[in-house]
Amino acid sequence: MAASRAAAVTLATLAERFDLVVQGSAAQTAIRGVCALEPGKPDCIAFAENAGQIESINRSAAAAVICPAAVAEAIESPVLVAKQPRLAFARVAALFERPSAPAGIHARAVVAETAQIDTQASIAANVIVGEHSVIAAGAVIGANTVIGEGVRIGADTRIASNCSIGDDVRMGERVSIEANAVIGGRGFGLVHNGRGWEAIPQMGSVHLGDDVEIGAGTTVDRGALDDTVIARGAKIDNQVHIAHNCRIGEHTVIAGCTGIAGSCTIGANCMIGGGVGIGDHVHIADGVIITAASQVPKNIDRGGVYSSTFRAMPATGWRKRLALFRQLDKIERRLRRVERAGLSSENNE
């Protein structure tokens, strides 16, 4: 990764901010970005997790390394000592992920007279902000994004370009929404009238808690009556669909291309793999892990790891198994006849 355009920070500053320890006299070493351990980059910081990486540290061009104490004792490079180097690195990297956006409203933005935008918020070109919406300090709204009426956006929230935020959506602080996401679109509520389908009004909205992340191209539908809720710290990947009236628990993570039907409840600290399909009105308990491409048509009432798919195999083997699957009814009927015949023989003896 190239060095960020953000201002340099010293190891001493990073240590104080993230509760780390500077080894030796390297406190004033300047850091302008993050990098991989090898080859490393000057003015950037890398990380290492075990003694097996000591030779890589010695070869690295990185200005400093985040590593555990046992590794730090064996090297001479400028070091930040951390109990969890990967976690510490992630937090440091976040400082350099994006340059700070300038505060203010771009001349080509369209902002309703009744909207309230903090002077420390940043509104890019071609953004539209609807009536009575409120945008707090430090929030950044990317180009071409549309903010509906009555929206509440918390401090330090970042919404990328080309997003659509529906009416009355509420977001906490430090929410992150990537490009082309749609938050608060109409839910897929329909009723059949005997001849065709009629739409059910979707009158709720969406509530995103603090530190929620929404990936690029993801859609979160507004509720039919109550709000769709994604709780604090939940992380949603790219191209996920969350239907109306769903509730996602705190610190749950959902990988890309998962589809969640309406009125589902997913507990806290769950991990949902990519391409999972969850049926409507399903309840999933706290601490559930669902592996990729699984189908979940019914409730999961206790924590654990759940799967419902076949692993990939050579196509010829799969075709043979598929042929057997198609014969399962016949095989079952034949087995029952054999079992009945066996019982009859035993009774006659």
The strand order across the sheet containing 116-117 reads 116-117, 134-135, 152-153, 170-171, 206-208, 228-230, 247-248, 265-266, 283-284
How many angstroms separate the CA atoms of 166 and 168, rounded? 7
SS3 2: coil
Identity of the amino acid at 112: A
SS3 94: helix
Q: What is the DSSP code string of 19-48?
A: T-EEETT-TT-EE-EE--SSS--TTEEEE-
| Tokens coding 85 | 């180097």
Which letter, b or e, does each residue of 295-331 get, where b requires 16 or more Cβ atoms within 10 Å of its Cβ?
ebeeebeeeeeeeeeeeeeeeeeeeeeeeeeeeeeee
Which of the residues 244, 251, 281, 283 is marked catalytic? 244
Residue 244 is among the residues annotated as catalytic for this protein: yes
Other CB atoms within a 10 A radius of the CB of residue 342 amount to 10
From residue 288, how far is each of 169, 244, 258, 267, 285 by CA, in Å?
A: 28, 22, 15, 8, 6
How many angstroms separate the CA atoms of 252 and 313, rounded? 31
Q: Are 188 and 202 in contact (CB under 8 A)?
A: no
Q: Are 261 and 276 in contact (CB under 8 A)?
A: no
Residues noted as catalytic: 244
